[in-house]
Structure 1
Amino acid sequence: MERLGRFDFVVREYQSIDFYNNNTFYKEAVGIGLFDSTSGMVFPSPLSQFIKSVYQRKNVSLSTQRNPAYEIVKFLNFINEQIRNNNSDFGKLKVEGLFGLRLEHGSYYISYLASKAINGDMDGNYVYRIEKYLIEFYKWLNKQEILYEPIQFEEDGSSPFDDIELGTIYPNKQALPSNRLVDFGENRLELVIKFLRIADYVAPEIALGIAFQFFGGLRAGEVVNLTKKSLEYPKYNSDENGADKFILKVRDNQKYLFNHRATKIHEQVKRPRTQTLLIHPLLTSMYVKHKLRLNRLLKDNKIKNSQALFISESTGNAISGKSYHEKFMAVKEAFLLQLSKEERIEDYEYLTQKRWSTHIGRGVFTNFLLDIGATVTQVAIARGDKSITAVLKYVEETNAIKITQDALNKIRIAYDRELSEITVQNIESWSLTSNGYK
């Protein structure tokens, strides 16, 4: 096991090889490596087995493997930093390595993150997510009998770091709202139209993709994975323009689009599905314009990958996830500047109070569905979610308050109406049953 303090830990993507029934299977995987600053080389670490055994074996996406890998690497590099700074609480780890890791070290790290959250430099919910990764990491070390001081985990699943003797500091969940914006607010449709028109001017290569995000809830990685064959309706080579319906087959097409890339972390499809989009005239016109643009590039021999739906004019290949994000942020900057010039103070303040990026399209799509009367269950199905819990995360706090108020008003009206119809006689006829009122 690694000797802490000497190397820096890094995350690397690699090709995993599995054997079954005399057959060889290759798949992309995420692991942990050791970076030697002296030689500039990265060496494989046995800690990659943690990612493989706990996350990769569940056949999850690369991004789902990547998250715990990056967070554990941050934790290990934090330990290295404490060792190099001669923090006495971490001194023994310089000799003992991970064998000497104790709950105190995890507690110290959680408290460090919590202090940043309390100061407003970090989302408090992020701290609790990191704690879950640390728990899994400690469980794995414990199971492998690596720790000099074995840990007894509680059967109720409670955190071993949440111990009064450790004195772990936690942020207050109720007192710390998310610092990420997930929706455009009540003026969402008007703002979406403005955003898309600016995108058509600033970044025409991805303008249609952004429309897919707002009107279909696609993630950025899902957009860049789209091919011409991903258009279930309208078919790419047909004369249909999507004015009556628009359906996309969201699939992982990395092997067709990104085989030339060594790292494909930003080109992941989290949930393959068939996605129906909300219909809007602007979506139709943008689709027609996008096809004309691709035909022009094809005529000028500027396309290297004819399967891709989103092409980079500079390379002729499919637009990468990183490039898509950079172009989106350029559109965002121009969009906010335009709002400022128009002196739309309320909208500008609303859209600059928190951080947001490409994922906001998914939240806007969610709230579009709620606006047209879809139930939370219907929204979850439309978004391709496994549960309704995820939907609630994309309802912006201010919109959630409005939804709650509207619901209370409807309940109050219904209650008043029912109350006016009640008489003394039918009150006396009510009886309690095991199922409630009858």
Structure 2
Amino acid sequence: MVNINAKNNYEFITVPIWIDWGKTKDNKILKKQTMAIGLRDKNTGIHIIHPISSFILSWRWRASEYNTKRKHATNIVKFLNYLSQEKMHKIKSLADLDIETGTDYLNSLTNDYRKRDTITDAARTLTSFYVWLSQNDCLPNVGDNYIESKKKKNPHNDRTYYESLFNPTLPQRTRSNRKHLFPIKYIPLLIEISILVAHPIALGLYLQIFGGVRAGEVVNLKRTQFRKRLNSADFLLNIKEQQLRTDIKDSSGSNYVKKIRKQQILQIKDWGNIMFKDHVEFYKDKDINGTGALFINRDGLPMSGKSYSQYFFKVKDKFLKFLIDYGTVEDKVIATDLRLADWGTHIGRGTFTNLIAEEIENPAELMFLRGDSHLLSCLPYLEKTERVRKKVEERMNHMHTDYIPRLINRQNEIEE
């Protein structure tokens, strides 16, 4: 029975770990990042891997992606630290757990003003944790019949799942202040500012807005992935994990590809081609280890998701300041709204979706352009995406000339 009665000078933590996963055809080691749960001495900073890590590493999530493991491990770590500090329940080992303890923990999240979605997500992890404990005969205070009564089958895929074992008091749903759409008419200005103040990610911003590529997917790109073009001159990127920064023990999950796929990037007014040439010409010799990474940081190493986000927020701040200092009354109002809202690199994918949504003819076409389904199953839509590209390009042409980037004027400079 696992003892969790940690004293005040100990705490549970998540521990990201890189492991040797296999070998490539040329005998290079393939690595994979996973997540464990550790117990750390607050005084010395030394930690050990706790046996409870088996819940993440050996159960239903053993083959899951890193971010899935990270989410559940983080939820369990918070629960365990609550148990080690909470005096009311006097939990000394996992065998002391009961439904009331889990419910009280979830209620404590409500009392701490956590969001409803945060609490329901924690409840899902906690339900799985209790099921795992029960299956390992470590939960004597919770009847097997009660747990089995929560077992259901999904009619769409016949997979079994468990309804929540707990009934906490949940906060009311609140309207999110998160922005998913960047004002379309300001896209060229945003790109131009990125070229001026955050050149290392300017191309990445283009890929996000005109291809819906996530930030973690951007930093996984290699230069050679831009060689394949469609008849429309659009880029066709092979989005996949590249394992470019195995030296980083990053628990944020910002360096990962959410879905391996072929992703089309719309070629608007030849901006993408110009920016790509400019980017490669400037950074190809800065890749000190010859990794082939498309995005390189100031140290000559493949850029991490964290570094990419830092550059993005620099662009965001400069963009908003420009509108407030030099914009019209309307510009200033929009800048104020954007400054109060919650938005980051995710806004690129949302903006791409909205750019193309008005031009599509059916949901399958939207799924294809967003990379939500396999390319081969959507080949009939390849021709139609040329129409979408032209429509998006027309919308760019109709913008105020002050906001059209001076990218085409730079083409001769790049080619010289």
- Does TM-score exceed 0.5, indicating one fold? yes
Give the alignment partner of residue 49 of structure 2, picking from 34, 41, 44. 44
TM-score (norm 2): 0.76
Equivalent positions of 1:388-427 (< 5 A) are none
CA shift in 2, pair 1:169/1:14, >3 Å? same
Equivalent positions of 1:25-36 (< 5 A) are 27-36=32-41
Give the alignment partner of residue 286 of structure 1, picking from 266, 275, 287. 275
What do residues 230-283 of structure 1 show as CA deviations (whole Å, max 9, x unaligned)? 224359xxxxxx9831211111111xx224434474321121111001221233
Bigger mean CA offset, 357-366 vs 188-197: 188-197
Q: 2-side partners of 1:130 and 1:260: how far apart?
A: 30
Bigger mean CA offset, 377-386 vs 101-110: 377-386
Considering only CA atoms, is the larger Rg found in Structure 1 or Structure 2? 1
What do residues 205-242 of structure 1 show as CA deviations (whole Å, max 9, x unaligned)? 0110111111111111111110012224359xxxxxx9
CA shift in 2, pair 1:25/1:189, >3 Å? closer
Give the alignment partner of residue 355 of structure 2, picking from 347, 368, 382. 368
TM-score (norm 1): 0.72
| Count of aligned residue pairs for this structure pair | 347
**Letter matched to residue 316 of structure 1:** G
**Letter matched to residue 311 of structure 1:** I
CA shift in 2, pair 1:79/1:333, >3 Å? farther
SS across alignment from 1:205: helix
Give the share of equivalent positions with the same residue, in percent. Answer: 30
SS across alignment from 1:14: strand
Q: 2-side partners of 1:16 and 1:286: how far apart?
A: 36
CA shift in 2, pair 1:178/1:380, >3 Å? farther
Q: 1-side partners of 2:361 and 2:117: how far apart?
A: 28
Equivalent positions of 1:29-428 (< 5 A) are 29-57=34-62, 59-82=63-86, 87-88=87-88, 90=89, 92-93=90-91, 96-117=92-113, 122-151=114-143, 152-153=146-147, 154-156=150-152, 157-162=162-167, 168-173=168-173, 176-184=174-182, 188-234=183-229, 244-254=233-243, 257-263=244-250, 265-281=253-269, 282-295=271-284, 298=285, 303-312=288-297, 314-341=298-325, 342=327, 343=329, 344-385=331-372
Q: 2-side partners of 1:10 and 1:291: how far apart?
A: 40
The answer to whether the 8 A contact 1:276-1:382 is kept is: yes
The answer to whether the 8 A contact 2:235-2:267 is kept is: yes
Q: 2-side partners of 1:18 and 1:267: how far apart?
A: 18
Q: 2-side partners of 1:252 and 1:325: how far apart?
A: 19
Question: How far does residue 285 in structure 1 lie from its aligned partner after superposition?
Answer: 2.9
**Letter matched to residue 155 of structure 1:** K
**Letter matched to residue 170 of structure 1:** L
Q: 1-side partners of 2:364 and 2:172: how far apart?
A: 29
Which consecutive unaligned segments of at least 5 residues does structure 2 have? 23-28, 153-161, 375-416
The answer to whether the 8 A contact 1:249-1:274 is kept is: yes
What do residues 318-375 of structure 1 show as CA deviations (whole Å, max 9, x unaligned)? 1111111111111111122222222423422432343111111111111112122353
Q: 2-side partners of 1:243 and 1:193: how far apart?
A: 21
Question: How far does residue 386 in structure 1 lie from its aligned partner after superposition?
Answer: 6.0
Q: 1-side partners of 2:349 and 2:194: how far apart?
A: 17
CA shift in 2, pair 1:222/1:284, >3 Å? same
Question: How far does residue 199 in structure 1 lie from its aligned partner after superposition?
Answer: 1.1
* Superposition CA RMSD, Å: 2.7
Q: 2-side partners of 1:369 and 1:291: how far apart?
A: 28
Give 4+ residue runs of structure 1 displaced > 6 Å after superposition: none
CA shift in 2, pair 1:246/1:133, >3 Å? same
The answer to whether the 8 A contact 2:360-2:366 is kept is: no
**Letter matched to residue 63 of structure 1:** N
The answer to whether the 8 A contact 1:55-1:64 is kept is: no
What residue number does 1:2 align with? 3
The answer to whether the 8 A contact 1:303-1:311 is kept is: no
Q: 2-side partners of 1:217 and 1:113: how far apart?
A: 34
**Letter matched to residue 322 of structure 2:** Q
SS across alignment from 1:99: helix
**Letter matched to residue 260 of structure 2:** P
Which consecutive unaligned segments of at least 5 residues does structure 1 have? 163-167, 236-241, 388-438
CA shift in 2, pair 1:31/1:322, >3 Å? same
